[in-house]
Each structure stands twice: as C-alpha cells, then as structure tokens.
Amino acid sequence: MASSGKNIELNNEYCNYRSPFSTRYASKEMQYNFSDQKKFSTWRQLWINLAKAEKELGLQISNEQILEMEKNVNSIDFEAAAAEERLTRHDVMAHVHVFAKQCPLAAPIIHLGATSCFVGDNTDLVIMKDGFNILLPRLAAIIKNLAQFAEQYKSLPTLGFTHLQPAQLTTVGKRATLWISDLLMDVRALTRARDDLRFRSAKGTTGTQASFLQLFDGNSAKVKALDKRVAQLSGFGKTYPVTGQTYSRKVDIEVVATLAGLGATVHKMCSDLRLLANKKEVEEPFEKSQIGSSAMPYKRNPMRSERCCAIARHVMALYSNAINTHSTQWFERTLDDSANRRITLAEAFLGADAILLTLLNITQGLVVYPKVIQRHILQELPFMSAENIIMAMVKKGGDRQVCHEKIRVLSQEAAAQVKQEGKDNDLIDRVQKDPYFAPILNELNGLLDPTTFTGRAADQVTEFLIDEVNPLLNEYKEELALLSAPVTLNI
C-alpha cells in the first residue's frame, strides 16, 4: 500500500528498512563484523594474501604490486562497486574491477587463479571466527556475574519447583548454578565450533584446484603449499582437505547449531527470571524512569528477559535455515545458498550478540527479595516438614504409622483452609494444639528451620564455583577486566 503522505522524502533514512539489530539490539563490534566495510576489506586482504603466497612460490608478482594493494585495502569506493555490480550482476567481479582501478600496477594479478568463493567463503570463515571471539568473552562475563550472585545467595533457602509445583527447598544460589552450568556448556560448544573452523583457501572453481595447477605448470606440491600458505596468512592453521565450489555447508550447520543452543540456554534462564519476577522473589534491573506499562503505572515488567526470550527464539529458528540449505546443495554447489546465508549467518551472530549484551546487563543488577521468598516458603514448609515431625515423634517413642495418620489428617484439614478458604497454611498450629505431639513441641522451631531442608546446596555451590567456574574465569581474566563496566542498553 502506498504512503498517503504527499511530502515524505523517500530518500530519508527513516523511510528505508533498518534492521532492529542495527538500531536497537546488537553491539557496535558485532555490527562492524558483519558490515560491508569488514566484508570487502577482507576480500581485498585475501587477494593480497593470495598474491603474497603465489609470489613466494615463484609466480611473477612484484613487491610493488603487493604494496599498492596493501595501501588500498580499506579505501573502498562503495558507490563505484554498486555501479559495477548493476552492470555485471556479479558482486565479486564488481569489486575486482574497482580494486583494479585503484591499483593499476597490481590489476593483472588481482584474483589470479581464484574463483568467487575464494573471497566469499573464506571471508565468511574469517567473520564467523571473529564473531565467536566477540561472543565468548561476553559469555564469560555473564558467568562471572552469575558466579558472584550464586556465591552471595548460596545459603538463602527458596522453594524448589518440579512440574512448576512446590518441591523440596533449594537455595537461590544453587538455582543460579543451574543457569551457569548450561552457559559453561555453551562456552565449550562455541569454543569448539570456533576452533573447528578451517579455511577453504585456494581450491578453485569446483574444488579441484585445476586453475592453480595450471598456474604452477602442473606442480602439485606448489599448489598444495599455496593452499596451506594462504590459510596461514589469513590466520588459520588448517584447511578443509576437500571442498566443492564452496566449503561444505555442513560447517554452517555446526556454527548455527551452537548459537541456537546458546539461545535455548538464555531462553530457559530468562523464562525462570520472568517467573521469579511474577512471584516478586527476584527481579531484573529496573531503572528509576522506566515505565512498565502505558496504562498500568505500577507494573515492573521484566522487559529485558522478555527481549532475550524473543531474540533467542529467532536464533533457535535460524537452525532450520542452515540445515535445509546444506541439504539442498546439489553436487559441487547450487546458488540457492547465497541469499539465505547472507541473512542466516549474520542474524545468528547478531542475535546471539544481542541476547548476551542484554543478559550481561541483567546479571549486573539482579535484585533478590528475601522476605518475599521467606513468606512463600512458610506457605509450603509445614507440609514439607511432615517427615521431620514423624521422625522426631518416633525418636520420642511414638508409633510411625499412628503419627503418619495424624499428620495426614491434619495436612488435609490445613490444605482445605488454603484452597477452599484462601487462608494461610495452619498445619503447625494444628500440630501444636494436638496433645499427641506434646513430646516434640519444644523442637518444632528447629524442625521448621528452612536451612535444614536445603541439603548440600550451599556446599554444591562452593564446589561448583571452585572446580568448574573459576578455571574458566582465569582463562578469560584479561578480557573480563575490559568488560567490567556497567552495560547500558541502546533502547
């Protein structure tokens, strides 16, 4: 439907679609990582690396030609490249032509022996590797914040929940270790995915290296050395031993799967926080001027956690794109991967970046309300204390079966008061008034101490932080020092 505004200037930037990742959610670092400047300057650096390796292996390429390219690696004329692409309908050749005009001396050897995927695929691999290096320190910073939170609240009892029903007590800190444990698995997965990345390097049009073999007059050893050397110059220790025209899109599946897994972790944790906010036990940061609702001024909506869940769902959904793209790559390659990957890979990393940036903000300011937690415990603890009361009576000479029946009847009566009358749980009052329980009345306070219901939760937190978390934090010690400042979200 056309705009009804007669005086709208359509060239205004606000009349064009802009990704929310750029305007609201993702960090400047990750936005730059997927920017045109990063992409096309990496293309140029790859052409330089190729020329250097070819020169080292005996091709007639001069130092002056390489120096000319190096001087122009970042000076990209985007308008000229766009004009060339409109003519040629080929993005790589458009940039070859523009680069060649800027480097007339080097023009004859730019892209020598290479195919489009030499710059396209290899650049994607560079960008994904750099993307992981942006995400991992931020993930470690979140774990650090949660570790401090877990340590602070490791002994604070809280209701545990199974099936979303009150269960045996745990502690606030112990629950946080469950979030941390998942995040540690994500560190491992992201690190492995990053370190498993290899370089496509110099494989030629269908992966056979035929063009390079021709350049080196049939010298197979030099072609093999070229492949390895280009990878080394580009920061990779290994190359994929066999490829088609592209590196296998199975690689993209592994990459996006790790990011989708991170999304699942964050979604689970932030869903927990949203439920805790509903119970008014734990809240994410809430700024003084923040508005929870346009209609209901009293509301304190967990908007940060909701944002994490929303974007995490998008990242998780992107996995289906990656797996479907790989499954439809016929023989050595089909081009239906290209347009899809421009969106999927970028948004997987930008989405992961956005949820980590938001979660870092959340974990820097979590607020706990112990009195609310205590009130909720007291509503359920009388029922949970039944076994302790029975054991105490048996120690005083009581009959276990008789005591069990007494507690069962009193519990049902108390439950009726809670469910049918909306009153507080009065089981303990009923126990105190029943002469049968007179032998243990002076022990009831101890039997109802919430700290006696949390088992080894506090010790588990301490052991977990020492054995599992601290080694990781030491590994990222330098990066964490740079990420200690408070995080302010764009919007």
Candidates 445, 448, 442; CA nearest to 383 is 448
* CA–CA distance, 332 with 315 (Å, rounded to integer): 28
For 115, 199, 339, the CA distances from 322, given in Å and listed in that order, are: 23, 19, 12
Residue type, position 150, single letter: A
262: nearest Cα among 419, 365, 131: 131
Q: Is 280 left (phi over 0), alpha (psi -120 to 50) or beta?
A: left
Q: What residues act catalytically?
A: 163, 293
Pairing type for strands 282-283 and 165-171 reads unpaired
- Joined together, the tokens standing for residue 98 give 């523009």
3-state SS record for the chain: CCCCCCCCCCCCHHHCCCCHHHHHHCCHHHHHHCCHHHHHHHHHHHHHHHHHHHHHCCCCCCHHHHHHHHHCCCCCCHHHHHHHHHHHCCHHHHHHHHHHHHCCCCHHHCCCCCCHHHHHHHHHHHHHHHHHHHHHHHHHHHHHHHHHHHHHCCCCEEEEEECCEEEEEEEHHHHHHHHHHHHHHHHHHHHHHHHHCCECCCCCCCCCCHHHHHHCCCCHHHHHHHHHHHHHHCCCCCECCCCCCCCCCHHHHHHHHHHHHHHHHHHHHHHHHHHHHHCCCEECCCCCCCCCCCCCCCCCCCHHHHHHHHHHHHHHHHHHHHHHHHHCCCCCCCHHHHHHHHHHHHHHHHHHHHHHHHHHHHHCCCEECHHHHHHHHHHHHHHHCHHHHHHHHHHCCCCHHHHHHHHHHHHHHHHHHHHHHCCCCCHHHHHHHCHHHHHHHHHHHHHCCHHHHCCCHHHHHHHHHHHHHHHHHHHCHHHHHHCCCCCCCCC
How far is the C-alpha of 122 from the C-alpha of 46, rounded, in Å? Answer: 8
Q: Report the C-alpha gap between 286 and 304 in whole angstroms.
A: 9
Query: In this structure, what token pair is assigned to residue 239?
Result: 């190359």
Cross-strand partners of 162: 165
